[in-house]
Structures are given as C-alpha cells and as structure tokens.
Amino acid sequence: MTIDIEYVILRHLQMKLKAPFTTSFGTFQRKEFILVEVVDRDGVSGWGESVAFAAPWYSEETVKTNWHMLEDFLVPLALAEPIHHPEELAKRFSAIRQNNMAKAAIEGAVWDLYAKRLGVPLCQALGGTKKDIEVGVSIGIQPTVADLLQVIERYVAQGYRRIKVKIKPGWDVDVIRDVRRAFPDVPLMADANSAYTLADADRLKALDEFGLLMIEQPLAADDLLDHARLQPLLHTPICLDESIRSYDDARKALDLGSCRIINIKIGRVGGLWEAKRIHDLCAERGVPVWCGGMLEAGVGRAHNIAITTLENFALPGDTAASSHYWERDIITPEVEVQGGLIRVPDAPGIGYDVDRRQVERYTQFAKVFHRTATA
C-alpha cells in the first residue's frame, strides 16, 4: 500500500486542566500542544499529538521547538515522497538528531492514516491483541497529605488498578507511609521525576518497607550508570522513564542492570515504531513494560491505548479517563474507564472520532503545508 500525503495541518492548541497537576519539576494548569493532521489524496485524515510541554521541564523539547522542527524539517521530509509503511519515517527522520516528540507527533498521524487505509484498528496494525487494557492513575503532589488521601480514595473507588504518587525530597517517605497505612492493599508506586541523587540512596531504600510496585526515575534524566549502582541496594524495582529515549538506551539499561521495569512513552522514544521495538526487546529479556502518560488530550491518549494492547505491557499504565484531566476532550466518544479497564476501540485507525468543533475551540493558530507549496 502507498500513502500519498497531500497536505499536513499543524494546530497549536491550549486546553485547561480540571485541576492543577504538580510534579517535582513544576505545576501545570494548562496544556499547550501541537495537533498534527495528515490528509491523503482521497481526503482521509490521520491524527497525531505532540506531548512536549510549554517549558523544558521534562525534556529539552518544548511546544515551540516542536513546531520549528515539524515546520522546517519533519513535515517537508514526510511530504517528500510516498510512504509504504510508517516504519519508513524512522529512517527518513534519522538525519535529524533527537527531537523525538516532534518525530512521534507526525509519525503517529501517519500510523493512524495507515491503519485507516488498511481498514483495521491501530492496535491491530501494531500487532496488539488485547481487547481491554488495565489502567492506573497518576496523582500530582497535593497541598497536604489529607488532600492526597482524599484524591486517592476517589480513584480507588472508581476502580483504577494502580495508584502512582509523585514524590520529591521532603514529600516522600512520610507521605508514602501515610498512604500505605490508609490503603494497605492498593497497588502503589512512587514517581520521583529525577528528583534525587545517589547520595539519597538510604532515603530511597526506606521506601522498601511499603511494598511498592516500583520507584520511577529516581535519579538524573540522562543517567544509566548510577541507577545501575542504586538498583542492587533496593528491594523495590526501579523503573526508568526519562533515561530511555531509544531502543539502544533500553538495551544498555538492561545490560547494566539499571532497572527491572521500563516505562514506554511514545513521544519520548520517537514514535510508535520505536516503542514497539523497545517492547519487543523487553519481552525477550523478561522485563515488563507499561505505558506512561504526558497529560495527553484524546488523540495522544488513543495512541497510548493502541500500543498498550501489545502483550508485554504487563502493568497498568497512566492512561486515565478523559474526565480525569479535561472538562471536554477533543475526541468522541471520550476515553472512559470502567472497573479499572479501558475497552479498546475496534474502529479503523485510532478508533475515536476527532471532534473538530472542540479542536477549533482550543486552537490558538494553525498552518497548512501542501506537498508542493507551503501556505
């Protein structure tokens, strides 16, 4: 099959979160992001979403740098010649270093279009088999422990299969102790977002007593070696997030013993194809993976659902319901969670319709790029 992209539309959207979301590196009240639409000669659209934030807190990429990379490099490369399979884009984009979130945004749109042209759900095009996926929820740092316990209670009552609590120095051991005392049987994990150093090993080891599923990314975002030194000191598995940007990063982490679990984020690793490669590697090594979240709107959330249908996504991911974050999402139907499960859609492509009315409502500006001209 040949995909001839006739034009690409980049839209800069801004959506207000239902409640502020706080991590060790900042507080988010609004999410700015780029929505990518690729349209073929028959007028069929594929959709992708950039997960970069407005400021370089999580990684060096931002909404503005993604727009620059897409406009000046990646969109022209995608339009340069027909595409036979989305995996070709990885090679086509290989001359562009890093900028994984920008690459993933347009690659995701092409995957959606590809699956629609095949007439199959995106999950099937990726090789996924699950009909339902287990999901957990990520809870930001709250004003007080009492507030945190109240939020957790609400999501436990809704059936979420795992609770993730953000931690940082000064909001860690005592907080997790209070959470575990209140919820002794809930699958629980802590996410540090690189807030610690190897000098904090004793403090991180103190978390062992709480029976956590994992501690996510305790040390530096670009580190593998210190994590390899820390993991043998802990009973709790380390899960790497920011440190894994590619298949090779995952291979090195596993070879070094830097972690026992890997969080796969499509944007962080450069797209669905690289995410699938990392999944397959971890499956061969017997290392479970799960799908992390980046406060995605509906299109990004739909891609997360699709990749999570692969068999070695063995732990509940961060793909909570649309209503967890937004008053009104940009897809219909919105993503819903029932009993801690999301039913995987079976319509072609991402399986959800993009609500163009809501997209227009949230769009700050847009630009169209044609195969032979830019407008």
Known binding residues are 191, 216, 241
* pLDDT averages per 10-residue partition of the chain, 375 residues: 96 93 77 97 98 93 98 97 97 96 98 98 98 94 95 94 95 97 97 96 98 98 97 98 98 98 98 98 98 96 98 95 93 96 98 98 98 59
pLDDT computed for residue 22 by the predictor:
77
CB 142 within 8 A of CB 151: yes
How many CA atoms, within 13 angstroms, populate the side-chain half-sphere of residue 202?
A: 1
CB-count exposure of residue 237 (10 Å: 0-12, 13-18, 19+):
middle
H helix intervals, the chain: 63-69, 75-79, 88-92, 100-118, 122-126, 145-157, 173-182, 201-205, 225-230, 247-256, 266-269, 272-285, 298-308, 356-362
CB-neighbour burial class of residue 158 (10 A; exposed 0-12, middle 13-18, buried 19+): middle
CB 139 within 8 A of CB 166: yes
129-139 residue pLDDT tens: 999 999 999 99
What's the whole-model pTM score?
A: 0.95
Cα 295 from chain centroid?
A: 8
Q: What is the Cα–Cα distance from 212 to 350, expressed in whole angstroms?
A: 33
- Give me the domains of the chain, ranges plus CATH numbers: 5-119+354-374 (3.30.390.10), 124-351 (3.20.20.120)
**Longest CA pairwise span in the chain (Å):** 63
Say how far apart CA 33 and CA 14 lie, in whole Å: 7
Residues forming beta bridges with residue 342, ordered by sequence position: 133
Predicted pLDDT of residue 57? 87
Q: H or E segment at 87? A: none
Type of residue numbered 358: Q
Contact (CB, 8 A) for 34 and 330? no
Q: Give the model confidence (pLDDT) of 233-263 as tens digits.
A: 999 999 999 999 999 999 999 999 999 999 9
Residues acting as catalytic residues: 166, 265
Lookup: tokens for 212: 């956590």
For 18-35, give the DSSP string. Answer: EEEEEETTEEEEEEEEEE
Per-residue pLDDT at 12: 98
Q: What is the chain's mean pLDDT, rounded? A: 96
Q: Are 317 and 341 in contact (CB under 8 A)?
A: no
The binding site for Mg(2+) comprises 191, 216, 241
